[in-house]
Homo-oligomer: A and B are copies of this chain.
Amino acid sequence: MQHGFLEEEKRGVYRAIAERRDVRSQFLPAPIPDAVLARLLWAAHCAPSVGLMQPWEFIVIRDAVVKQRVGDLFERANRKAAGVYEGEQRALYDSLKLAGILEAPINLCVTCHPTVSRGFGLGRQTMPETAHYSSVCAVQNLCLAARAEGVGVGWVSILDPVELRQALAIPPRVDPVAYLCLGYVNEFLSRPELEIKGWEQLVPLAELIHFDSYGGRDSDCAVRLAGSAVAENKE
């Protein structure tokens, strides 16, 4: 249609979406130039936000002392998290590298100020969680722009939010939404690392599609929809 992109631009969008990986093990020490970081932050700031509230802020972390502090929080939270697994699954869990906080040249905390006056509350009365969702859209914009730049991003969720807030002096009115590790990489894996390592598998898309209401199944149509997408993207 008339407002669609040129083929090569469209290919870029789909490549970024398909080839983005959550990076933990492949970071290189090469610094990210300010001009590249600037484009990534700008991409994040282009995100949609409910009522145009733009609730996000960005804490750019390059100080090794701060990284070490957050790295210590991760180690503690990760040891605790490991405790719920047993036997083979525990051994597999322990073998996973789940964060690259110290290796990544830049860490970035994306926050949300859910009661910011901007936007005058438009659209936030019935689903107030859309404030936080707006900051998540900013994160995903940044991850896709980063992929296009050849920069890997790892999202670390194994952190106690109360401790993270203290470590970064985030005030009570603002919430940490995502703690990200950014850096150039020696490779982008062809599949998600948790799939390669055997932790979990990808679900066939067709199983996740409903029609007109939840449970409204039309298997033929779902398989056709899902199948055509897969076929195209394998070309």
A-to-B contact residues, CB < 8 Å: 1-6, 8-18, 20, 22, 30, 34-35, 37-39, 41-43, 45-48, 50-54, 56-63, 66, 77, 80-81, 84-85, 89, 93, 98, 111, 118-127, 129-130, 132-133, 136-137, 139-141, 143-145, 147-151, 155, 157-161, 168-171, 174, 177-178, 184-185, 187-188, 192, 194-195, 199-203, 205, 208-216, 224-230, 232-233
Contacts and interface: CB of A to CB of B under 8 A. Distances in A.
Nearest to A69: B213
B171 A214 contact: yes
Contact of A199 (B120, B158, B200): B120
Contacts of A212: 59-63, 66
A38 to B, nearest CB: 4
A84 to B, nearest CB: 7
B132 A129 contact: yes
Given A48-B20, A157-B123, A228 B6 contact: no
A188 B157 contact: no
A29 to B, nearest CB: 13
B54 A203 contact: yes
A58 B208 contact: yes
Given A42-B205, A52-B195, A155-B48, A77 B214 contact: no
Identify which of A59, A119, A132 gathers the most chain B CB atoms within 10 Å of its CB.
Answer: A59
